[in-house]
A = this chain, B = another copy of it.
Amino acid sequence: MMGLTSPADPLTSRAALLKAASDLMIERGVIDISLSEIGRRARLNTALVKYYFGGKSGLMLALVRDVLGQALVQMQGLVTMDLDPVTKLKLHIKGVINVYFRYPYVNRLIHAMLLDPVLGEEVAKTISRPLAETQRRLVEDGVRAGLLKPIDPMLFYFIILGACDHLFFSQHALRHAFGVHEIDDQLRRDYTDTLLDMVLNGILLPQGKTG
């Protein structure tokens, strides 16, 4: 009985530490949070971070895998689904935006990790490369079907990820330059629709194209 209700219950404590780190990064809009802040928020001894994750880097890696693992699996599943390639690409881009909407810190966290030689290779192997590979297949399927222009998948990767992320990365610019204090669901939808229309159709009107 004791094990089920104890605050040191492994699953609960592990999840509580991950949630505390995630919540703190969302609230503060920065990825620099300390172990002691995480421990205080989770009401757990920070020694448990070392126990479960080997340290703060391990906790952050576990968090990124938690947050993106499910999304990556869904995105990889898209590739083989019986849908037309353009619909797949739209769903992919929506999925990327939804991840950044829920976890606005995740892109910055990944980039901080890519700076570290050991952690960087791990993040590249489990996240960046699978994502790039999924996108490459989605784009190439669309090109092969005669629906999309040939486009370099690497350039596409940086353009799309940057465009998807920037509203969330730049929440402070949103506040300071546009007076918008919160990214609500309506803004997320408007951003998604505008980006999708731009990526697929461009912003030129027919008379612009001849000009």
Contact A167 B162 (CB under 8 A): yes
Q: Interface size bucket, A side?
A: 35 or more
What mask results when residues 135 to 179 of chain A are scored 1 for a CB within 8 Å of chain B, else 0?
000000010001111011011111111111111011011101110
> Is A24 positioned at the interface, with any CB of B under 8 Å from its CB?
no
Q: Which of B114, B155, B161, B174 contacts A190 (CB 8 A)?
A: B155
> Is A211 positioned at the interface, with any CB of B under 8 Å from its CB?
yes
What mask results when residues 104 to 132 of chain A are scored 1 for a CB within 8 Å of chain B, else 0?
00000011001100001101100011011
How many Å from the CB of A8 to the closest CB on chain B? 35
Q: Assuming A115-B29, A202-B200, is B123 touching A176 (CB within 8 A)?
A: yes
Complex Cα–Cα for A146 and B207 (A): 7
Contacts of A73 in B (CB 8 A): none
How many Å from the CB of A84 to the closest CB on chain B? 6
Residue of B nearest to A159 (CB): B163
Residues of A whose CB lies within 8 Å of any CB of B are 29-30, 84, 86, 110-111, 114-115, 120-121, 123-124, 128-129, 131-132, 142, 146-149, 151-152, 154-167, 169-170, 172-174, 176-178, 180, 190-191, 194-195, 197-205, 207-209, 211
